[in-house]
Amino acid sequence: MNKKRFLTTGEIASILHVTRVTVYRWAKSGKLKAYQTPGGTYHVLRKDFAEFLRKSGMDDLAANHNFKTPVKILVVDDEPEIVEIIKAFLEKSNPHYHVVGATSGFEAGHLISSFRPDVVILDLVMPGVDGFSVCRKIKSDPHTKGTRIIAITTHSSDENLEKIRKEGANIILTKPFDYHKLLSIVKKLTKSSFYK
């Protein structure tokens, strides 16, 4: 299949072995995000088709046709050097990782709403808005509660570990940590044929 940005209803019908009418109905009902041309036909962006396949449980089909959506990762740490090192390492490890950095809990709060990350790598102890508050905000919002959180800290007291677990962190790493271990955790948390 060529690399154009959109697919026609006929192309989608062929991929899914359904009729064009079925695809048209999905588009018209909003189940499949599509754009109607002046001539009345529907075009579907490849990324929207990939999302439709994911939501419909057809990840394997998406992989076979190379429809991959990027994994969005937010790195939050008050040390800019750490943010840049993690960002560079992850993006070099996988071209499908789209990594954005924040150096404060306040900045992270804004990015979580606009960027909607799949994974947040979150330092716990930061001035102002700390990682516990950021984690709580993520998990209390219906739009982001599915976001996976990797907490990172140099302050790994039992109290801090228990507190961040209660706030909803999936994994906790103690600094300094092995970047290859971090990569392995990101892969595990985003395991899907979209995220190879």
- List domains and CATH numbers for the chain: 6-64 (1.10.1660), 71-188 (3.40.50.2300)
At 2 the pLDDT is 39
DSSP code, position 86: H
Tell me if the pTM is above 0.75.
no
* Coil vs helix vs strand at 119: strand
Query: How far apart, in Å, are the Cα atoms of 190 and each of 62, 120, 123?
Result: 15, 12, 20
At 69 the pLDDT is 63
What token pair was written down for 87? 């960002």
At 194 the pLDDT is 39
Helix runs in the chain, H state only: 9-16, 20-29, 46-55, 59-64, 80-93, 105-115, 131-140, 158-167, 179-189
At 157 the pLDDT is 83
With 0-12 / 13-18 / 19 or more C-beta atoms within 10 angstroms meaning exposed / middle / buried, residue 117 is buried
Omega of the bond leading into 117 within 30 degrees of 0 (cis) = no
What token pair was written down for 35? 């754009």
Q: What is the mean pLDDT of each run of 10 residues along the chain (196 residues)?
A: 69 86 91 87 85 78 62 94 95 88 92 90 91 93 92 87 92 92 92 44
